[in-house]
């Protein structure tokens, strides 16, 4: 049994925020909420502190970190802002959008996986912004979980995964969006490209930029440095094997073993008596209710995957989100990476 003390979970009081900001300013780690998922934060300009993030998560050095800032001026201290980046930042920051830009000299090589670019965003969560302000430093913060596992959207998720590897967790409730930020490559503003889908859509980005944004394409795993996080072929993965289905139906459930679970996007509704099993079977779950939409599904995605992974199921079957809007692409991207072969 481990003798390492468990991480302390802090309520977001002014006193606790002041203390956690001092931890960050002195080179320590703090898990904290953003509107997308919980992040494991450290001073982005402190190489030793950033190295501690990689150690705690078991994260490979070829997967870069996102640097979180509280203002456009602070973003300019870590990245070289072109006019397109300023346009996009004014339209979508603070919010779930990360920009990949040429980096400033002060950004440690470890943060950018040795590349001359850096991923930067301004989060919308007031508690994370407060930690940036109080600590006085931009904060590097990947998801606060063991590398490759399902991302955390609550303080309890962080405690379950990193509770013996870090000392401080700020509880700000459940993340409101539930999937990681959209990532836009603006290193060459004449050729912007979508690197990871999220809540901000390609169409919204094109409208602000006044030009086409290269469509998102899933990247194949490689041992070379990635230009942005979240691009590995296998990621966000439960330990239980996961199979994806374009659309789940009652026959899928009826043909399965009782130790297999089914995750629908929306709560199933029976159109005829033979379909009732999709509502009554104890191995059927869903991401949003009958009136819910993809925002509710995204919000519950990682929490539901974690819950199912903690059960006694031998296999999970998940339905892909319908359509091509931003959250459908984001949900399906996370599911496809979660289901990728080990």
pTM across the whole model: 0.94
Phi-psi sector, 150: left (phi>0), alpha (psi -120 to 50), beta: beta
Judged against a pLDDT cut of 90, whether residue 163 lies above it is answered with yes
Q: Are 146 and 54 in contact (CB under 8 A)?
A: no
How far from 164 is each of 1, 37, 158, CA to CA, in Å?
Answer: 11, 20, 10
Confidence label for 18 from pLDDT (cuts 50, 70 and 90): very high
Taking domain 242-339, whether its CATH number is 3.40.50 is answered by yes
Report pLDDT for 189. Answer: 96
Report pLDDT for 280. Answer: 53
For residues 265 and 281, the model is more confident at 265
Confidence label for 123 from pLDDT (cuts 50, 70 and 90): very high
Confidence label for 307 from pLDDT (cuts 50, 70 and 90): very high
Report pLDDT for 337. Answer: 94
Domain boundaries, the chain: 8-209, 242-339
Which class for 147: exposed (0-12), middle (13-18), buried (19 or more C-beta within 10 A)? middle
Judged against a pLDDT cut of 60, whether residue 19 lies above it is answered with yes
How far from 118 is each of 185, 274, 287, CA to CA, in Å?
Answer: 10, 54, 33
Report pLDDT for 313. Answer: 97
- What letter would DSSP give residue 276? T
Q: Give the rounded percent of residues in the chain with a pLDDT score beyond 90.
A: 84
Mean pLDDT score, 73-94:
98
8-209: CATH homologous superfamily?
DHBP synthase (3.90.870.10)
Task: Tell me the per-residue pLDDT of 268-284, one tens digit each, with 9 for 90 and over.
Answer: 876 444 455 555 578 99
Report pLDDT for 12. Answer: 98
Q: What is the largest CA-CA distance in the chain?
A: 66
Report pLDDT for 225. Answer: 74
């Amino acid at each position: 049994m481990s003798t390492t003390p468990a991480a302390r979970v802090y309520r977001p009081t002014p006193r606790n925020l002041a203390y956690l900001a001092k931890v960050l300013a002195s080179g320590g780690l703090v898990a904290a909420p953003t509107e997308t998922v919980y992040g494991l934060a450290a001073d982005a300009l402190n190489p030793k502190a950033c190295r501690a993030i990689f150690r705690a998560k078991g994260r490979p050095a070829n997967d870069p970190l996102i640097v979180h800032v509280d203002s456009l001026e602070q973003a300019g201290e870590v990245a070289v802002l072109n006019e397109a980046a300023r346009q996009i930042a004014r339209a979508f920051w603070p919010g779930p959008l990360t920009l990949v830009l040429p980096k400033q000299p002060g950004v440690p090589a470890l943060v950018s996986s040795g590349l001359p670019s850096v991923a930067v965003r301004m989060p919308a969560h007031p508690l994370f912004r407060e930690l940036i302000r109080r600590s006085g430093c931009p904060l590097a913060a990947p998801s606060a979980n063991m590398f490759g596992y399902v991302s955390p959207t609550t303080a309890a998720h962080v405690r379950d995964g990193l509770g013996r590897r870090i000392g401080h967790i700020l509880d700000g409730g459940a993340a409101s969006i539930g999937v990681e930020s959209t990532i836009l490559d603006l290193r060459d503003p004449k050729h912007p490209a979508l690197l990871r889908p999220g809540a901000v859509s390609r169409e919204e980005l094109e409208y602000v930029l006044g030009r086409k944004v290269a469509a998102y394409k899933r990247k194949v795993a490689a041992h070379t440095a990635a230009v942005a996080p979240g691009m590995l072929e296998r990621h966000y993965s439960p330990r239980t094997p996961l199979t994806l289905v374009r659309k789940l139906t009652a026959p899928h459930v009826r043909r399965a073993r009782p130790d297999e679970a089914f995750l629908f996007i929306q709560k199933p509704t029976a159109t005829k008596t033979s379909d009732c099993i999709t509502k009554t079977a104890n191995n059927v779950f869903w991401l949003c209710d009958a009136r819910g939409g993809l925002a509710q599904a995204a919000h519950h995605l990682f929490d539901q995957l974690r819950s199912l992974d903690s059960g006694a199921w031998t296999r999970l079957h998940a339905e892909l989100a319908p359509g091509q809007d931003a959250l459908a692409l984001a949900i399906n991207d996370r599911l496809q990476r979660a289901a990728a072969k080990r």
